[in-house]
A and B are shown apart, each in its own frame.
Chain A
Amino acid sequence: MKTNMTEYLAIDLESELWCCRKCEHELASARGNYKEGLLVYDRDPREIHKPIINPDLYEYTFAPDPEWCRILEYYCPNCATQIEVEYLPPGHPPMFDMEFDIDSLKERYLERKGQKA
């Protein structure tokens, strides 16, 4: 009784848990923030978007300014799939980005499966 919410996240409607779709690892309460079940890494954006032109010569280099922007990478603690990425100013609270009505999801799931009129 799982319903897929993103490429990597599902909600188990029976146990009411967020799960990783790659390894089925149970992450966090589906009534709360799935991020609470993940590992986070504060990435210097220059490691992903590398300077194309010489940072010793120029202020703007094609790489984001690490003083202004950080990349938070969220990994499944079991299979290490990168489930989400968030670009934030340093110190900005991560977004509680998905908060679904679990009772309504259950009802819709059963309706789709023809188990409820």
Chain B
Amino acid sequence: MATEFKNEEELVKKFLNETTLFLGPEPDFMQDHTLASITEREKVAIRNADPSVLSVTRSKMQAGTNESFEMLEQIGAAPGAKWGDLISCLFTAKGDLSIVSSGGVLLFAACVQYGVKYIVKHWLNDPDVGVKPGDIFYYNDARYGGVHNTDQVLIMPYFHEGELIAWISTIVHEGENGAVEPGGMPSAAEQVYDQGLAISPIKIGENYQFYKDIVTFFQNSVREPKLMVVDLKAKLYAALRIEQRVAEAIEEYGVDPVIAVLRKTLDDTVDEVKRRVSQWPDGTVRMMGVADSTLRENCLIKVNLELKKKGDVLTLDFRGSSPEFANRPNNAVTSALKGTLGQLFLSYVWPDLPRNQAVLAPMEVIVDEKSVFNPSFEVPNSQSMMTMWPAFSVTQAALAKFLYNSPEKSTNVIAPWYNMITTCIYGGVTQHGETVGNLCADLNGMSGGARDGMDGEHSIAPLFAPMAEQGEQEQIEEEVPIIQLSRRIMKDNQGFGQYRGGQGYQMFLTQQDSDFFGFMTTTIGSKYPSAHGIFGGYGAPTYPLCKIKGVNVFDVLKNEPEKMAFTTEEIMNNQPLEDATYSTHHTGLQFELAEEGEIYIITQGAGGGYGDVLDRDPNMVMKDVEEDLISQTTANDIYKVFYDPETLVLDWETTEVTRKKEREARKKRGVPFNEFINNWVTEKPAEHLPFYGSWSDRSVVYAGSTEKIMEEGKLKSVMMPNPKDVQISKLEKEIQSLKK
């Protein structure tokens, strides 16, 4: 009997070992952002390399990725491709990302290696799939390494005389992907199955040709089948340009320098990151931030960070942050968080480093399972940006406190960039009768944070792509029925400080010539600012979505143009269009149909301020007044700068006296810290706050109320009620009380 049982047990074990139900993204694999072990082949190639040959080989390969980027920007059909939301890159044979185009979405540089490594791990030696020259692989499921499923990744192996020596990839934010809402980034997604096409890394072609059956399946899965096929081809041809340049490099310099460059670039980056981190003071910096919305409802979602630095090791510990949301898409897969951190270091801390994933390799990142930064396989992530970019800002503000003391800096110390994608995502039928679902390039108009010695730049670039553009509005209007009635820098929309943050522009959006067209907006920060200031500087203000419905603005402009106003302040406060309804909302707007001429107003945010407002040079305040960036009220109340409003001549004496009085007032109203916290600090969040995350003790995590408590390390998913049910319940109670 015992022998039989043993045999049966062995049989079950054998069956389990030989049978795989499902090849998912293994959690350990997806958490590992280190480099693969160096191979003997790479060691030999590096040992034999002449440094001068390596230098020119590397330049050639870098130029190849840059050329591919430029090409893809020109031939790509997706709006994201046209405005630079893409990237071209080269990996080692083991799948570590080594060389990235100089333009584009740098955060991909620290998160798409997982997809390549998945192919290496599972398909390279698989008898059914395999990898051979001319094969084309593809994926978009962010759970395999990405930000959200709207980003689509084409991958090709590079072989030299039968030896796999590299991987090539081209990635584009494609937009439409067949999700529950148009445009590829649904905020209404309550499950992963609402997020549209979810392609794990698979082979979609061979001999440089796509499989027609697979392409047909993709096209049938999305609202824009033409876009799907055009950009598959665009990504393929852009990848082939890199392949051509690598082949030329091999022909000119030999295969060993190419192998050596790909690996040595990574190892050199690791060494240099360690050298630079070692210059920072040893210690701990802590910072927190709040994401104030899931995009369906307002709530306080905590981002908690403890940065520890000792020697050449930096640890980023996000424990104590909010638990994951089971039915909201604001969960950031860890690869998205790490891509964000890679972007931060490569763009804002060490922009002179080679751009690759190795920037994070010597760092440690700690995230709790089932937190918003390490969510379960089952929860949606299509709006991961709503937590990963607050994490970007929190980390950026915290890093300033290490960097200031560093004897060597590659950039000025900088306050956080604005961090939200303020634009309209759209869907419907265009004036040309085409069904579309995508987004406008205004998301690229984020404002810069103030720096040590310099004001921030207005609406300059998105935090995720320093060389992206905001697009040509006229070109957009030719393709889709979106009209921007007004687009101007908004007065007083400023992160105040000794050096002020850049200011964002306001957009009046409407649609014309479509019977079926609508908008979404997907940003947080309507009740609680999302971007911070540093060293006494203030953060960004908050931003509403304003709607003016029940009116056709084109009729107004034709018949009564004098009634129209083009600032939010004027049109919302004066309500000059009599028959219209005016309302404000948080900026998580699920897809909503807009009638022709109805107005939606959104505002690009401000970068954070740097330093004390009373230290701002009064002449710089006056320059902002002259440029109509700030009002007299702001100059007087915030900066304590006074001037003649007629001549704009600065009144030095009043300014000096008022600033002195303000300093005295600060001393009077300020309370000693220990006395202050005795009255201020509460044991737990106030009853009225829907707070998610730790409060005073990191090990105790709240999940929306003081009754719902979780333990650090044992977090659970939070299920949110439907906001409409919440509203109905509230109204029913009101009806009941009225009946009584």
Using a CB–CB distance below 8 Å, which chain A residues touch chain B?
3-8, 33, 35-42, 45, 48-50, 52-54, 57-65, 67-69, 71, 73-75, 77, 79-85, 87-101, 104-105, 108, 112
Q: How far is the CA of A90 from the CA of B685 in the complex (A)?
A: 8
B539 at interface by CB-CB < 8 Å: yes
**Contact between A4 and B300, CB atoms less than 8 A apart:** no
Tell me the minimal C-beta distance from A106 to chain B in angstroms.
Answer: 11
* Nearest chain A residue, comparing its CB with the CB of B528: A69
Q: How far is the CA of A50 from the CA of B493 in the complex (A)?
A: 10
**Contact between A105 and B281, CB atoms less than 8 A apart:** yes
B407 at interface by CB-CB < 8 Å: yes
**Contact between B528 and A60, CB atoms less than 8 A apart:** no
**Contact between B404 and A63, CB atoms less than 8 A apart:** no
If A50-B492, A91-B680, A112-B407 touch, whether A7 touches B695 (CB-CB below 8 Å) is no
Q: How far is the CA of A63 from the CA of B525 in the complex (A)?
A: 10
Using a CB–CB distance below 8 Å, which chain B residues touch chain A?
281-288, 290, 292, 300, 310, 398, 400-401, 404-405, 407, 452, 490, 492-493, 496, 498, 526-529, 532-539, 541-546, 568-569, 572-573, 582-586, 603, 610-615, 633, 638, 662-664, 666-667, 669-674, 676-677, 680-682, 685-686, 688-689, 691, 695-696
A-B contact pairs, 23 of them (CB 8 A): A3-B405, A6-B534, A7-B535, A36-B673, A39-B673, A40-B672, A40-B673, A42-B676, A49-B529, A52-B490, A59-B584, A61-B584, A69-B527, A74-B536, A75-B667, A77-B667, A81-B612, A83-B536, A84-B535, A87-B532, A89-B691, A91-B681, A95-B286
If A6-B535, A40-B676 touch, whether A68 touches B573 (CB-CB below 8 Å) is no
**Contact between B686 and A58, CB atoms less than 8 A apart:** no
Tell me the minimal C-beta distance from B547 to chain A in angstroms.
Answer: 11
**Contact between A52 and B568, CB atoms less than 8 A apart:** yes
Tell me the minimal C-beta distance from B706 to chain A in angstroms.
Answer: 11
**Contact between A53 and B673, CB atoms less than 8 A apart:** no
16 additional A-B residue pairs with CB within 8 Å, beyond A49-B542, A80-B663: A6-B401, A7-B452, A39-B671, A53-B568, A58-B544, A58-B583, A63-B542, A68-B527, A74-B673, A83-B535, A85-B533, A87-B532, A90-B689, A91-B682, A93-B696, A97-B287
| Secondary structure dominating the interface of A | loop
**Contact between B686 and A90, CB atoms less than 8 A apart:** yes
Q: How far is the CA of A50 from the CA of B550 in the complex (A)?
A: 29
Partner of B584, one of A58, A64, A67, A93: A58
Tell me the minimal C-beta distance from B530 to chain A in angstroms.
Answer: 10
**Contact between B285 and A97, CB atoms less than 8 A apart:** yes
Which residues of B lie under 8 Å from residue A92 when comparing CB positions? 288, 681-682, 685, 695
Tell me the minimal C-beta distance from B411 to chain A in angstroms.
Answer: 16
**Contact between B527 and A37, CB atoms less than 8 A apart:** no
If A8-B536, A40-B670 touch, whether A60 touches B691 (CB-CB below 8 Å) is no
* Nearest chain B residue, comparing its CB with the CB of A42: B680
Q: How far is the CA of A60 from the CA of B284 in the complex (A)?
A: 37
